[in-house]
């Protein structure tokens, strides 16, 4: 694995939203996943102001042995099918996106039974990212988990999580460590305001922190969690956290980076995969790309990362 740290590429995202989603009840999972990554994504990618947009799809059938939980800490058992991150360079960009998002929210009833948007007014923190491909589109090559943590109220839990993240991210086994510390969610003010989609959550997901942690494989992850560094911190979980849940990522799809739609963002994720598999380099010629991005006037080739 690479020893180079590419975390600097996330610094353009100053304000962001982390959303957790669950597929529409009764909708076959493959149909849900394909609609999300090919149809909903391309609509979102075209809205003004958006600087960063990724989807990470979860494996709801694999929940065991992903992240150690100390005695005295509850398990978060919410069934989730993925997360979306939307980032903005300025508050003005975020406002422009919000004003245009009515058509996006109206589409969410087609695929989500629940969507919860957590607001990060000052952005998230990427402590390390050793993956060279910053616009990944396809199955995840790493063993990547999203750790949901119900924080105790007050500043101590946030400071502890920041210190822990900085220390553990320095371990060579960690390929990525990104920490989201959003504002508490308010059930009285549903976000996003999507009609006919659930926006009410249990107490353990109201004051949430989320860590995206990636390793080369599951063995490396378990060796890391068994190490003395992590074990020293494990015993302090009950002091700062009420509950923890972990979700395994199966697919990682990047649709907008640095304000520029990727091939997946313009054409759909599976179409972009087909272009790469066939080797159709002509599809990235300016005269062809312009047909799919008349409003943007440009696109980002997957190899540009």
Contact 230, 224 (CB under 8 A): yes
pLDDT for residue 299: 44
Beta bridge partners of 254: 54
pLDDT band at 297 (very low <50, low <70, confident <90, very high): very low
Is the torsion defined by CA of 137, 139, 141, 144 positive or negative?
positive
**228: its two tokens:** 């003395």
**240: its two tokens:** 């700062």
Contact 19, 84 (CB under 8 A): yes
pLDDT band at 303 (very low <50, low <70, confident <90, very high): very low
Bridge-based pairing state of the strands 241-257 and 74-75: parallel
What are 205-222's pLDDT values in tens digits? 999 999 999 999 999 999
pLDDT for residue 304: 46
Verdict on whether the full-model pTM lies above 0.85? yes
Q: How many CB atoms lie within 10 A of CB 260?
A: 18
pLDDT band at 284 (very low <50, low <70, confident <90, very high): confident
Helix (H) or strand (E) run with residue 152 in it: none
Average pLDDT, the chain: 94
What are 148-167's pLDDT values in tens digits? 999 999 889 999 999 999 99
Rounded Cα distance between 189 and 208, Å, is 16
Closest CA to 142 of 1, 13, 304: 1
What are 102-127's pLDDT values in tens digits? 999 999 999 999 999 999 999 999 99
């Amino acid at each position: 694995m690479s020893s180079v740290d590419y975390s600097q590429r996330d610094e353009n995202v100053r304000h962001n939203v982390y959303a957790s989603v669950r597929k529409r009840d009764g909708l076959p999972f493959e149909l849900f996943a394909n609609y999300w990554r090919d149809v909903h994504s391309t609509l979102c990618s075209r809205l003004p102001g958006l600087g960063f947009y990724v989807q990470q799809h979860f494996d709801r059938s694999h929940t065991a042995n992903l992240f150690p939980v100390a005695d005295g800490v509850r398990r978060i058992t919410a069934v989730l099918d993925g997360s979306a991150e939307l980032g903005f360079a300025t508050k003005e960009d975020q406002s422009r996106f919000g004003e245009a998002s009515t058509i996006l929210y109206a589409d969410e009833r087609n695929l989500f039974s629940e969507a919860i948007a957590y607001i990060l007014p000052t952005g998230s923190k990427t402590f390390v990212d050793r993956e060279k491909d910053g616009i990944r589109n396809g199955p995840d090559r790493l063993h990547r988990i999203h750790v949901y943590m119900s924080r105790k109220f007050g500043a101590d839990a946030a400071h502890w999580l920041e210190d822990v993240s900085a220390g553990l991210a320095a371990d060579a086994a960690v390929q990525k460590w990104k920490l989201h510390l959003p504002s508490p969610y308010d059930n009285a003010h549903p976000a996003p305001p999507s009609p006919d989609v659930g926006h009410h959550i249990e107490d353990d997901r109201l004051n949430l922190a989320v860590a995206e942690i990636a390793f080369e494989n599951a063995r490396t992850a378990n060796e890391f969690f068994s190490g003395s560094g992590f074990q020293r911190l494990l015993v302090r979980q009950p002091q700062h956290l009420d509950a923890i849940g972990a979700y395994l990522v199966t697919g990682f799809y990047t649709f907008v980076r640095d304000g520029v739609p990727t091939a997946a963002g313009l054409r759909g994720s599976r179409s972009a995969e087909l272009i790469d598999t066939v080797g159709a380099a002509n599809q990235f010629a300016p005269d062809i790309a312009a047909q799919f991005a008349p409003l943007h006037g440009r696109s980002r080739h997957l190899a540009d990362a």
